[in-house]
A and B are shown apart, each in its own frame.
Chain A
Amino acid sequence: MRPFTYERARTPAEAAAAAARNPGAKFIAGGTNLLDLMKLQIEVPSHLIDVNGLGLDRIEATPEGGLRIGALVRNTDLATDERVRRDYGVLSRALLAGATGQLRNKATTAGNLLQRTRCPYFYDTNMACNKRQPGSGCSAIGGITRHHAVIGASEACIATHPSDMAVAMRALDAVVETVRPDGTARQIPMAEFHRLPGETPHIETALERGEFIAAVTLPPPLGGQQFYRKVRDRASYAFALVSVAAVVQRDGTGRVALGGVAHKPWRVEAAEGELTRGAKPAMAAILGGARPTHENAFKLTLAERALASVLADAKG
């Protein structure tokens, strides 16, 4: 961990302004991801802006009939909120499938969206990694890739995004509300929030430098049956090999987003029309063009079978 300075911001605008003043600054929320990375010198901020005191820890109803989730709402509080449990079951289940009780008590909505990959080579600073050190190469390609992406990857990076929450939010078409360093606000749909690695795997989201997340809004409830099926090597406290977030309506139509397969929550709206025909055609369309490694090709079958079991459960 490099020495750093620290300040506590009181308003979102102040936080954004502080970020503008300090080019090497980072926001810190729960710290459950950032601090680990700082200890390993994977993140080396010279300044930390603590955003825990901004009062952004409420979940409010929106005039449109959805929910506005403050950026600092803890994962536990979000998962157990009565409205979330009733109307956005997929989100509640996704959150509870992630990490552990202790971590969820600390982890925040914004922090969860911005958590970084679990690619083991990213974590070992002796290894070349384009995400950690742009231009240095990708050690994962040709190495241990069982957990890596099967679709949307590039020659530069094959990492996945590890969040469960974000997969559910993608299925729900959530929108990220931000404040830029100049004080202006904007709204970024989840579909555009996380990026594919391309040539620049170190740029992971649509956020600009110093841009602050204030909230995530959920559109009005979709109804239907909501599932989050997380497949993993042990029963708890493990990142997904593959996860399926699904909202299935009575007529068999619905939405599906996948975790564990790409650099972002993976959803192909155009493929969802296939859902009524079953998991095989639907997944063929969702993962069309997938380019797995020999170690992770099983994820294609796994995703299809996980979706099949979700659809079977939906039929009851």
Chain B
Amino acid sequence: MKFDTPATNNPIDQLKVVGRPLDRIDGPLKTTGQAPYAYERHDAVRNQAYGFILGSAIAKGRIDAMDTAAARKAPGVLAIVTTLDMPRLEKGPMNTASLFGGPEIQHYHQAIAVVVAESFEQARDAAAAIRVEYVRQPGRFDLAAEAPKAKLVPGDSGEGSGAPPEERVGDFEGAFATAAVKLDATYTTPDESHAMMEPHATIAAWEGDKLTIWTSNQMIAWGKRDLAKTLGIPAENVRLDSPYVGGGFGGKLFLRADAVLAALGAKAARRPVKLTLTRPLVANNTTHRPATIQRIRLGAGRDGKLTAIAHESISGDLEGGQPETAVSQTKLLYAGANRLTSLRLAVLDLPEGNAMRAPGEAPGLMALEVAMDEMAESLGMDPVEFRILNDTQVDPEDSERRFSQRQLVECLRLGAERFGWSRRSATPGQRREGRWMVGMGVAAGFRNNLLMKSAARVRLDGQGVVTVETDMTDIGTGSYTIIAQTAAEMMGVELGQVRVRLGDSSFPASAGSGGQWGANNSTAGVYAACMTLREAVARKLGFNSAEAEFVDGQVRSGNRSVPLGEAAGADGMAAEDQIEYGDLAKRYQQSTFAGHFVEVGVDAATGETRVRRMLAVCAAGRILNPKSARSQVIGAMTMGVGAALMEELAVDKRHGFFVNHDLAGYEVPVHADIPHQEVIFLDEVDPISSPMKAKGVGELGLCGVGAAIANAAYNATGIRVRDYPITLDKMIARLPELA
């Protein structure tokens, strides 16, 4: 089905099942431990052996020799494959670092061997007995030091945000020079780790030259393609199965070493092999959100209207890598005639930087929305009003292009009212409650909506049970449930009549989970397949498909009514289709918007910042399931607290690695850090986005949160910290004298 004109009325608009706050259909399985994650698929294949990956002890250089003799003799060892056994393997188009093969070391904890043994403990123990001779080379590990050498490059996060190397509209320099009120500030964000609960894990089994992997991956079709390419085997010989994913946040978008080395280990041991990345490998072997240095210049007239906007970002990555697209939202968020954005990339020898939840916007808004707060203060304006004044309903770079929907102003207004924004003191450092200095902050949230082809197959059996099959993944987001809701709505059955099977590469290829595109596109694919099935059913019954109604488990036309199961017959029926998109995304700018409001307390003695209240008002198209959408948003807000206040991969600039590579050292928010969180979804349907009229919310919930917290901390204390995370050591010297 090609979607190239705005959606009109369709069966989804009935909203009998879609749009309701239904419990997750996979909830009971997950809460009772019966949803097996990759490492727990004990029944998937017999005779599983255990693999353990050895990571490089140096960040840059070469391996001269590896002595595996002792390890091979260790108890239980079945096979050892080292990186010297093969040339550097091919890699997928989105991977920067090679995952295995050859003597060259590109980053710390690069996989250099896999040991397969009868038990996990034996494999781990033997891996420690491998002796490696390295030749070290000096590396580039310090972003600030390399920044002056950074080159202008274009960026495309692959997840919805992108920007050319440099983009100019009007005359930024001229307008900035003459602006009545100006800001020129530099902000930094650190490297961050996805730190998902379930580390990467895979079980691999070969049958002849056919390979099956049970794994944890967000993008099944990419994984299949890239695993085949990496191993040099035909894609049709590879099957991936990933029905449950314990979080990914972008860390499982691409093929990683777990899948490759499980496959190589299984081949060498001639047995199925299961392995998982250890926590340290999650930080240093996989990908992370790269650190940024962002300079923002804003110029405005005394009336508060922005006349000049510049946002220039520098980040680093391995040779051949990508920049963090931190400036992309700045192209679209506010009006202003004279604009400049640029992206620069420094070459670093740290582990690979790549997509993490809302790549681009998440760190970009952490800078831009603090700059807006600083500018509002310089102008003597309320930060909510300042943003509203500079709203735009068209793409500021192309006034012909309207937003399909843009309710940023409504988000901010409603949020201000609900949050009690009027009680905020415009002068910082005014409100004190016991030991806490209390302040409020606001930020706009912005994230693009992406359209991706997505396919599904829908089966109908003689009992009227509808089964959906698609390689879409549920990474904890609720895909199972919204897909079931979609199919139930389309086929006119109860939710309980729908079965959903996901994550298997033998199913039709979906959009997958990334860039907050999963919900809208995967359900639109199911919509397309259901439409095709409805036509087939109507045809079979001799009904006019335009008139046939699918309601209450029946197909009706005129005064005829046939139960669905009967219509399907004993053999059942099936249909497969996909949603594909025309050029609506070119003609309209499709984005999602939020207003984030936060109240924090800062301990007057110690500078510890703790969040007290949070509110997100989101405008993101039709909300398919307010309950799971809320879960997405509060999870994202929680991630925003981490980014603002504690998360930082600490770079050892001598050895070139992330030092705090476990969950004791890399702190993410715990329950005690997260107070009351409220989420409001504005009523919105976006007929430009898809037949579902929905957009994404999973990343929107993060975009802007960090800045709202930073602004609240400033409002509480009068101390502006421009280097994230805002930890107490950056405040303490400027805290008020104690009595």
Contact = CB atoms under 8 A, between A and B. Distances in A.
Given A236-B672, A236-B673, A143 B652 contact: yes
B605 to A, nearest CB: 4
A120 B606 contact: no
Nearest to B108: A126
Contact of B645 (A1, A2, A234): A234
Nearest to B727: A233
A65 interface: no
Interface stretch (B36-44, B294-302, B653-661): B653-661
Interface residues of A, number: 37
Nearest to B725: A233
B664 A234 contact: no
Contacts of A241: 728
A2 B128 CA distance: 10
Residue among A143, A239, A306 facing the most chain B CB atoms (10 A cut-off) = A143
Contacts of B665: 118, 120, 123
A110 B673 CA distance: 30
Given A298-B733, A305-B606, A234 B673 contact: yes
Contacts of B57: 126
A144 B606 contact: no
B144 interface: no
A155 to B, nearest CB: 17
Interface in B139-185: none
Interface string A221-240: 00000000001111111110
Nearest to B668: A234
Contacts of B604: 309
B606 A123 contact: no
Interface string B268-297: 000000000000100000000000000000
B669 A234 contact: yes
Residue among B435, B650, B651 facing the most chain A CB atoms (10 A cut-off) = B650
B738 A235 contact: no
A308 interface: yes
A120 B673 CA distance: 24
A233 B645 contact: yes
Interface in B627-667: 645-646, 650-652, 654-655, 659-662, 664-665, 667
B610 interface: yes
B647 to A, nearest CB: 10
B552 interface: no
Interface string A104-119: 0000000000000010
A231 B739 contact: no
Contacts of A306: 605-606
A85 interface: no
Contacts of A3: 75, 125
A224 B650 CA distance: 41
B646 A234 contact: yes
Given A124-B280, A124-B659, A143-B659, A235 B610 contact: yes
Contacts of B124: 1, 39
Contacts of A302: 606-607, 728-729, 732
Contacts of A11: none
A306 B608 CA distance: 11
A39 B75 CA distance: 17
Interface string A299-314: 0011001101100100
A3 B729 CA distance: 43
Interface string B705-739: 00000000000000000000101110011010011
Contacts of B660: 120, 144
A142 interface: yes
Residue among B280, B662, B667, B738 facing the most chain A CB atoms (10 A cut-off) = B738
A305 B128 CA distance: 45
Given A2-B125, A126-B57, A309-B435, A235 B673 contact: yes
Contacts of A123: 662, 665
A160 interface: no
A121 interface: yes
B659 A120 contact: yes
A232 B608 contact: yes
Looking at chain A's contact residues, the main secondary structure is: loop
A210 to B, nearest CB: 25
B121 interface: yes
B670 interface: yes
A235 B670 contact: yes
Contacts of B655: 127, 139, 143
A108 B610 CA distance: 31
B610 A231 contact: no
Interface residues of B, number: 44
B423 interface: no
B586 interface: no
Residue among B58, B605, B654, B670 facing the most chain A CB atoms (10 A cut-off) = B605
A301 B659 CA distance: 25
B673 A144 contact: no
Contacts of B607: 302
Contacts of A118: 664-665
B729 A146 contact: yes
Contact of B667 (A125, A231, A234): A234
Interface string B45-58: 00000000000011
A41 interface: yes
B560 interface: no
Interface string B569-610: 000000000000000000000000000000000011111101
B676 interface: no
Contacts of B645: 233-234
Contacts of A121: 659
Interface string A1-15: 111000000000000
Contacts of A2: 125
Interface in B100-123: 121
Interface in A262-309: 279, 298, 301-302, 305-306, 308-309
Given A143-B652, A301-B733, A306-B606, A312 B738 contact: yes
Interface in B675-702: none
Contact of A236 (B651, B670, B727): B670
Interface in A14-28: none
A237 B671 CA distance: 10
Nearest to A300: B732
A231 B733 CA distance: 16
Contacts of B125: 1-3, 41
Contact of A309 (B75, B606, B733): B606
A279 B662 CA distance: 36
Contacts of A139: 652, 655
A41 B667 CA distance: 24
Contacts of A238: 667
A106 to B, nearest CB: 16
Contacts of A305: 605-606, 732, 735, 738
Given A143-B659, A238-B667, A233 B738 contact: no
Nearest to A143: B652
Given A39-B124, A301-B732, A231 B671 contact: no
B670 A237 contact: yes
A65 to B, nearest CB: 35
B738 A298 contact: no
Residue among A123, A233, A306 facing the most chain B CB atoms (10 A cut-off) = A233
Nearest to A242: B606
Residue among B57, B603, B604, B732 facing the most chain A CB atoms (10 A cut-off) = B732
Nearest to A162: B664
A50 to B, nearest CB: 18
Given A1-B121, A237-B670, 10 more contacts: A118-B665, A124-B661, A127-B655, A231-B608, A233-B727, A234-B672, A236-B672, A298-B728, A302-B607, A308-B738
18 contacts: A2-B125, A3-B75, A41-B125, A124-B280, A124-B659, A125-B128, A146-B650, A146-B729, A233-B667, A234-B670, A236-B672, A239-B664, A298-B729, A298-B733, A306-B605, A306-B606, A309-B603, A309-B605
Q: Which 3 A-B residue pairings sit nearest by Cβ, starting from the closest?
A: A309-B605, A235-B672, A126-B57
